[in-house]
Structure 1
Amino acid sequence: MARLSPVDLQKALSGADYPTDRDKLMERAKRNHAPKEVTEELSHLQKKTYENPAEVSKAVFGE
């Protein structure tokens, strides 16, 4: 299984409205037919509000 990349994450979340939360991010990824790796990573995010894609990327990748 290939490691999830920031590009894969942003493609999976394309069209997401911010601010948003973990559950809405997971719903968006599923609607965008994201790979299982993406939804698994999103499921581990904290239940909080994410203001923009950069915050989501930081939460997933620790950047």
Structure 2
Amino acid sequence: MADISPIDLQKALKGAQYPASRDDLVELARGNSGDGSLVDKLSDAPTDRFDGPDDVQKAVFGNQ
């Protein structure tokens, strides 16, 4: 599996409006042709709501 970069995440979530639900961001990422593994990681995020891009990045990438 290819590594997911923060730039890939930004591209997948282009046009996101915050605060946003996890489901809304997953749908947006799919609509923006986001990488399947990125969409999976976002789907599995431990939170249901994100207040901004930093929250999403922390959920997807953890403390990397």
- Residue aligning to 1:6: 6
Cα deviation, 1:10-57, whole Å, max 9, x if unaligned, reads 110010110001100100001101111111111111242100001100
Q: Is 1:46 matched with 2:53? A: no
Q: Is 1:58 matched with 2:58? A: yes
Q: Which runs of 5+ in 1 are unaligned?
A: none
- Residue aligning to 2:20: 20
The aligned amino acid for 1:30 is R
> Percent same amino acid among aligned pairs?
46
4+ runs of 1 displaced by more than 6 Å?
A: none
Q: Which runs of 5+ in 2 are unaligned?
A: none
Q: Alignment length, in residue pairs?
A: 63
